[in-house]
Amino acid sequence: MSITYKQLEEVAYELNRRAAIAVPLDAKQAFQQAAQRETQPDAKRALLAVLDNADVAVAQQSSMCGDTGLPRFYVKAGNNVELEGGFVSLERALRAATVQATKEVPLRSNRVHPLTRRNPGTNVGVMAPSVDYRFEPDGDWIDLTAVHKGGLFGSDYRMLFPGDGIPGLKRFFVDTLVAFGHRGLSCPPVIIGVGIGGAKDQCVTLGKEASCLRLVGDRHPDPLVAKLELELLELGNRTMIGIMGFKSDTPVLDVHCEIAYTHTGGLPIGISQLCHAVRRATARIYNDGRVEYREDPQWFTEYYRREGVSFEPGEPQPSTKGGEGMKGLAQIAQRSPTNGSPKTQSAIPNPKSAIPAGSAQKPATRPSKEWHLKVPLSEKDVRQLRAGDVVYLTGCIFTARDGVFKYMIDEGHEPPIDIRNQFNVTTQSSPAGAEVAPGKYMVNSLQATAGFRYAQWMDRLFERYGVRAVLNKGGMSQEMYQTVFKKHGVVCLSTMPYGIGAIYGKAVKGVRDVYWKDMLGMSEGMWLLDVEELGPLLVDGDSEGNSYVAQHADEVNAPLLEIYKELPELILKRFGEVSDPTEELIK
Ligand code: SF4
């Protein structure tokens, strides 16, 4: 018997649906434990909201985050699997299932041409969805795993050297957390995959697979690698840069490392962060037609990690030769390249003086308040808000991202709506929504995106169109607040926390229209959304120029300054690199 095309397509569709909606059990339990032990009030509230969002997504069968990432598949084929039409037929089924899921779940149509930005609206295109294959001896089955991962923030690659060793690896690990943790662009708590060795592409691939395809709590079979995983987990949590960039006891849920033998002169490292929207679903299909939906993709097997030329089941995993070699590396890296004495100096010349004067404001004197406001907002509505307040919005708001800003502001196309008088709140979002009939739209999940990218358009947006509030993820820089936002009396609201698209999606009561979708595509078009009690939204920047993030900078920076005292500088610097962890990276 062979597995039919129809079955492959049906299972692949179901996997896309499950991945978008339901947090896998291992991750959900880890979130629950993190929420229970969290001692920081902001982080605790955010973690409870993440758990609440997971339940809402399942209850209303909507995507857990409004950004449904890039759908992709991991395929593990047993050596004896029989596929009707072979692997080419499988790929056709995976593509067809992705188109159907994009329309019906719906998934956000995220895939665009990288240069023209044309959006086919299906999440299918050149090289998309990507499909990765691995094989297993024997096995009359095929495992399909759907993963939806964004990938804009949190991942990085760096070529280190044997002289950097494990201390250098730790430095790069922390650098990556800090770079994307400022303002929480990576949406912690994260599961981190670290690919160590191989070549540049291989370590990046291994890091991604390790973050997406291993279960929380799983340890590498090589004791040395397992030990490194635990050390990195502890180090990551000592940074305390958690959800929304605020202090948290658990910014990292787990760390998974994978190794590959590498060039004798190098130590390439690929780091991949999987955000708290853990979107993964696996099924095993047997030749006789049985289907098992599984929690564990079991991606990393003895066979995949095999070390020698041939493979017999039970062959030792890379726990001896690789392990010993890395121990040696660690010792080498403890010595200074010049005089052989232990290298413990910080990369930061003088932490205190590195903090720009006045960058950390004093928290607002009055306690934060909760507001329920109607759109359009009046000037009084906006001026009474202070950084740290929480807002719920009811009324009609419009979406705008790169496409709308370029078209409307740079190219001068007048908006089809009266922004100043009727719709003076914009969200930097693209909903997970679909056109269900000509001119009729539905939204089931909504999340704002990182706002710092749109700074160049804000002054003109406020001046020309009278916008009074901008809603995004992570806010903008304090400098933007003190110049542009203050000048126009505008507030910046941030979703709280990020990635709870099911909760925000529930507040969307209707879609009035999607403008400019033919020019800009569904994702980048201007959506006009009726919302009811959309929130909670944090006032990140107020009309006086105060920044909530800047008010909390000192407490967030303190643990970092301690950690960096233990970490070496890396041998090969990057051009223009910033190595001050207190530096605000968002300009
Ligand atoms: S908004 Fe946050 S939670 Fe949602 S996909 Fe992006 S990084 Fe993940």
Residue 108 included in any domain: yes
Ranges of the chain whose pLDDT falls below 70: 183-184, 316-365, 584-587
Q: Which of 51, 276, 428 to mutate to test the pocket of ligand 1 (most atoms within 8 A of CB)?
A: 276
Could you tell me the distance, in angstroms and rounded to a whole number, from the CA of residue 486 to the centre of ligand 1? 29
Residue 296 included in any domain: yes
Could you tell me the distance, in angstroms and rounded to a whole number, from the CA of residue 2 to the centre of ligand 1? 38
Give the CB-side neighbour count of residue 194, counting CA atoms within 13 A. 30
The pLDDT value given to residue 180 = 86
Locus of tokens 């690659």: 157
Continuous segment of H or E residues that includes residue 64: none
**Strands 425-427 and 469-472, sheet pairing:** parallel
Q: How many domains does the chain have?
A: 3
Atom of ligand 1 nearest to the CA of 447: 1
> Sign of dihedral through CA atoms 57, 58, 59, 61?
positive
Residue 515 included in any domain: yes
Residue 464 included in any domain: yes
Q: Which of 110, 155, 447 to mutate to test the pocket of ligand 1 (most atoms within 8 A of CB)?
A: 447
Residue 81 included in any domain: yes
- Is the same domain home to 537 and 577? no
The pLDDT value given to residue 344 = 30
Range of the domain at 159: 151-274+332-356+553-587
Residue 206 CA, distance from chain mean position: 17
Atom of ligand 1 nearest to the CA of 65: 4
- Is the same domain home to 484 and 501? yes
Give the CB-side neighbour count of residue 573, counting CA atoms within 13 A. 7
- Is the same domain home to 248 and 145? no
Could you tell me the distance, in angstroms and rounded to a whole number, from the CA of residue 150 to the centre of ligand 1? 7
Specify the 3-state DSSP secondary structure of 22.
coil
Alpha helix segments (H runs only) across 265-320: none
Could you tell me the distance, in angstroms and rounded to a whole number, from the CA of residue 247 to the centre of ligand 1? 19
Residue 86 neighbours by CB under 8 Å, 6+ apart: none
Atom of ligand 1 nearest to the CA of 185: 7
Could you tell me the distance, in angstroms and rounded to a whole number, from the CA of residue 277 to the centre of ligand 1? 6
Atom of ligand 1 nearest to the CA of 149: 5
The pLDDT value given to residue 124 = 98
Could you tell me the distance, in angstroms and rounded to a whole number, from the CA of residue 276 to the centre of ligand 1? 7
Could you tell me the distance, in angstroms and rounded to a whole number, from the CA of residue 46 to the centre of ligand 1? 14
CA-to-CA separations, 361 to 496, 546, 547, in angstroms, rounded: 21, 8, 8
Report the b/e string of 223-239 with b at 16+ CB within 10 A.
ebbbebbebbbebbbbb
- Is the same domain home to 378 and 481? yes
CA-to-CA separations, 60 to 392, 443, 503, 555, in angstroms, rounded: 21, 12, 10, 38
Residue whose CA is at the smallest distance from ligand 1 atom 1: 499
Atom of ligand 1 nearest to the CA of 150: 5
- Among residues 541, 553, 550, 551, which one has the least CA distance to residue 386? 541
Tell me how crowded residue 78 is: count the other CB atoms within 10 A of its CB: 18
Ligand 1 pocket, residues with Cβ under 6 angstroms: 65, 67, 69, 150, 187, 275-277, 447, 498-499
Tell me how crowded residue 414 is: count the other CB atoms within 10 A of its CB: 8
Atom of ligand 1 nearest to the CA of 67: 5
- Is the same domain home to 564 and 495? no
251 preceded by a cis bond (ω within 30 of 0): no
The pLDDT value given to residue 333 = 36
- Is the same domain home to 208 and 121? no
pTM above 0.75, yes or no: yes
Atom of ligand 1 nearest to the CA of 449: 1
Residue 323 included in any domain: no
- Is the same domain home to 526 and 560? no
Q: Give yes or no for a contact between 53 and 28, defined as CB atoms under 8 angstroms apart.
A: no
**How far apart, in whole angstroms, are the C-alpha atoms of residue 177 and residue 253?**
13
Could you tell me the distance, in angstroms and rounded to a whole number, from the CA of residue 289 to the centre of ligand 1? 35
Residue 253 included in any domain: yes
Residue 325 included in any domain: no
Specify the 3-state DSSP secondary structure of 382.
helix
- Is the same domain home to 199 and 63? no
- Is the same domain home to 142 and 156? no
Structure tokens that stand for 551 in this block = 């008010």
CATH number of the domain where residue 416 is located: 3.20.130.10
> Sign of dihedral through CA atoms 181, 183, 184, 185?
negative
**How far apart, in whole angstroms, are the C-alpha atoms of residue 330 and residue 341?**
14
Residue whose CA is at the smallest distance from ligand 1 atom 3: 499
Helix axes 25-37 and 41-59, enclosed angle (nearest 10) = 150
Could you tell me the distance, in angstroms and rounded to a whole number, from the CA of residue 286 to the centre of ligand 1? 34
The pLDDT value given to residue 574 = 86
- Is the same domain home to 429 and 291? no
Q: What is the DSSP letter of 83?
A: B
Phi-psi category of residue 8: left, alpha or beta, with phi > 0 → left and psi -120 to 50 → alpha: alpha
Atom of ligand 1 nearest to the CA of 473: 1
The pLDDT value given to residue 584 = 63
Structure tokens that stand for 476 in this block = 């903008």
- Is the same domain home to 422 and 533? yes
DSSP string, 89-112: HHHHHHHHHHHHHHHHTTPP----
376 preceded by a cis bond (ω within 30 of 0): yes
Q: Which of 51, 498, 503, 504 to mutate to test the pocket of ligand 1 (most atoms within 8 A of CB)?
A: 498
- Is the same domain home to 472 and 521? yes
The pLDDT value given to residue 365 = 64
Atom of ligand 1 nearest to the CA of 68: 5
**Strands 526-541 and 508-515, sheet pairing:** antiparallel
**How far apart, in whole angstroms, are the C-alpha atoms of residue 83 and residue 210?**
28
Could you tell me the distance, in angstroms and rounded to a whole number, from the CA of residue 499 to the centre of ligand 1? 5
Could you tell me the distance, in angstroms and rounded to a whole number, from the CA of residue 216 to the centre of ligand 1? 19
**How far apart, in whole angstroms, are the C-alpha atoms of residue 455 and residue 363?**
24
